[in-house]
């Protein structure tokens, strides 16, 4: 990457109007690996104006041509997959083998899906004496997080571009480098100037300038519920459309007829993926009270296999957290769990042995967790599992639904019974017996986990307005 000290606005690499830069820190070495501009409100305005100028031509472009250009972006991402994986591992610390499959592999699949969907989604239909048409919403501001940096970018940018919208992307300043790889791919494509713009900076400056800008028609945001509320407040002043993908406190409900060993092992793996920094992680393991002791033993055994270490090594299954701030936040939650009386079965707040550098946290399992405890109610965003016993199926459903969140969840048991319970969970995405992630199915939350959906035709429809023309 040659342009990380610049912004990408109106089809050109350009310096920021300010003179402040932000360091990008390696999660595993704590070394500075790059620096990026701290974009100013003036930079954001220049990017928005470029997107506004480009909107008319891009929206009018035939969908077949837009699809062709998105396929080029897909091929560009695929060609740089190894670089993407190594870059993101360096930034956030996901073990490289996982980064190759997830951090690089998923964005490639998602971009391909939008390139195909853009020509398949019906944009007009006749309803009695009306012609109902779908049109691009306009200029879209995309604000994306650090845990799956490129995956979250492509989920928004790919869909918005496919729909005919123009984009201003404000990626996280913590892990912005994969956004630069995408911008370089776009710069080498035939995307018209201004269709895609990249501004990097902090949330309180660049993010807020984008969310409040009167020429932005829509904001799509992924991040914490607290930050999502702020984005909504700023967007409300201009009544722009808002899509939010926020926090979660997802439950895995293990029914009494489930394969307990498989359910516990899979839930621990789900919880600890990306060092627990996954919004849809199943961080609460709900088991029948009569099988609690067996489940606790299985959970500890599974968690012990998550060796902590250098994410570029072949042996580490658990890399560091993304930042020093995140590490201390997780440690504080572990301390809070102990203060409130949860039983520490494995791990703890102490640093892992032999890792003097890097933002590492021990894989941690809490038992005898009361559903009302802080660690059972709030999103920790670290490798911390809460084991909760329930009395019966109704009690399990009550506990699973008993948080402010509703992003995801899982159910383990006989298929018919598990499906019945899945229908009663108030969350946007439920896995039955370990069902795998589907990048063409809708993803998003209920309650304080946000609103709007990403991926597949549902993700594309988020960026379309509906118009009725009567005859």
Q: What is the pLDDT of residues 278-296, one digit of tens each?
A: 999 999 999 999 999 999 9
At residue 356, the pLDDT reads 87
CA dist 400 and 248 (Å) reads: 12
**Mean pLDDT along residues 340-346:** 98
At residue 26, the pLDDT reads 97
CA dist 381 and 251 (Å) reads: 14
Q: What percent of the chain has pLDDT over 90?
A: 99
**Mean pLDDT along residues 382-386:** 98
Of 245, 379, 454, 462, which one is the catalytic site residue? 245
Of 142, 165, 271, 279, which one is the catalytic site residue? 279
CA dist 77 and 186 (Å) reads: 10
- Does 60 score more than 80 pLDDT? yes
Confirm whether 279 is a catalytic residue: yes
- Does 2 score more than 90 pLDDT? no
| Letter string b/e over residues 177-191, b meaning 16 or more CB atoms within 10 A of that residue's CB | bbbbbbbbbbbebeb
- Does 398 score more than 80 pLDDT? yes
Lowest mean pLDDT among 118-122, 128-132, 155-159, 374-378: 118-122
Distance set, CA 349 to CA 90, 277, 319 (Å): 24, 17, 16
Q: pTM to 2 decimals?
A: 0.96
- Does 456 score more than 80 pLDDT? yes
- Average pLDDT in the chain: 97
Q: How confident is the model at residue 321 (pLDDT cuts 50, 70, 90)?
A: very high
* Among the listed residues 60, 179, 69, the one whose alpha carbon sits nearest the alpha carbon of residue 115: 69
Confirm whether 245 is a catalytic residue: yes
Tens of pLDDT, residue by residue over 402-443, are 999 999 999 999 999 999 999 999 999 999 999 999 999 999
For the chain, which domains are there?
A: 7-246+449-470 (3.40.605.10), 250-438 (3.40.309.10)
Q: How confident is the model at residue 310 (pLDDT cuts 50, 70, 90)?
A: very high
Token representation of residue 234: 């700023």
CA dist 446 and 452 (Å) reads: 9
Output the CA angle 336-338-341, nearest 5 degrees. 110
């Amino acid at each position: 990457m040659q342009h990380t000290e610049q912004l990408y606005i109106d089809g050109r690499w350009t310096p920021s109007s300010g003179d402040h830069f932000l360091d990008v820190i390696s999660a595993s070495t704590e070394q500075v690996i790059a620096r990026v501009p701290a974009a100013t409100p003036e930079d954001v305005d220049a990017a928005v104006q470029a997107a506004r100028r480009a909107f008319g031509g891009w929206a009018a472009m035939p969908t077949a041509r837009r699809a062709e250009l998105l396929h080029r972006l897909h091929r560009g991402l695929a060609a740089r997959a190894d670089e993407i994986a190594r870059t993101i591992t360096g930034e956030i610390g996901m073990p490289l083998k996982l980064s190759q499959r997830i951090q690089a592999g998923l964005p490639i699949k998602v971009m391909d899906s939008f390139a195909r969907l853009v020509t398949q989604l019906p944009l007009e239909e006749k309803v009695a004496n009306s012609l109902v048409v779908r049109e691009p919403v306009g200029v879209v501001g995309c604000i994306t997080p650090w845990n799956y940096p490129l995956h979250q970018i492509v989920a928004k940018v790919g869909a918005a571009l496919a729909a005919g919208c123009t984009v201003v992307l404000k990626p996280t300043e913590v892990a912005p480098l994969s956004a630069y790889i995408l911008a370089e791919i776009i710069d080498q494509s035939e995307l018209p100037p201004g269709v895609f713009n990249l501004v990097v900076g902090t949330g309180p400056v660049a993010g807020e300038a984008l969310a409040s800008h009167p020429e932005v028609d829509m904001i799509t945001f992924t991040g914490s519920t607290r930050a999502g509320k702020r984005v909504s407040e700023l967007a409300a002043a201009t009544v722009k459309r808002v899509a939010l993908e926020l926090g979660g406190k997802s439950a895995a409900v293990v029914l009494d007829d489930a394969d307990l060993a498989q359910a516990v092992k899979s839930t621990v793996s789900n919880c600890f993926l990306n060092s627990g920094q996954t919004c849809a992680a199943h961080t609460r393991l709900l088991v029948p009270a009569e099988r609690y002791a067996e489940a606790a033993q299985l959970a500890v055994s599974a968690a012990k296999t998550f060796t902590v270490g250098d994410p570029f090594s072949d042996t580490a299954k658990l890399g560091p957290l993304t930042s020093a701030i995140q590490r201390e936040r997780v440690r504080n939650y572990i301390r809070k769990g102990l203060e409130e009386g949860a039983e520490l079965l494995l791990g703890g707040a102490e640093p892992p042995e032999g890792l003097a550098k890097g933002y590492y946290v021990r894989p941690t399992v809490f038992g005898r967790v009361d559903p009302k405890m802080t660690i059972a109610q709030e999103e920790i965003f670290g490798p911390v599992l809460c084991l909760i016993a329930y009395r019966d199926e109704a009690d399990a459903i009550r506990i699973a639904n008993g948080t402010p969140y509703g992003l995801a969840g899982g159910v383990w048991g006989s298929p018919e019974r598990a499906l019945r319970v899945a229908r009663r969970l108030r969350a946007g995405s439920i896995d039955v017996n370990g069902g795998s992630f589907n990048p063409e199915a809708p993803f998003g939350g209920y309650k304080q986990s946000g609103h709007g959906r990403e991926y597949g035709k549902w993700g594309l429809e988020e960026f379309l307005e509906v118009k009725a023309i009567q005859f």
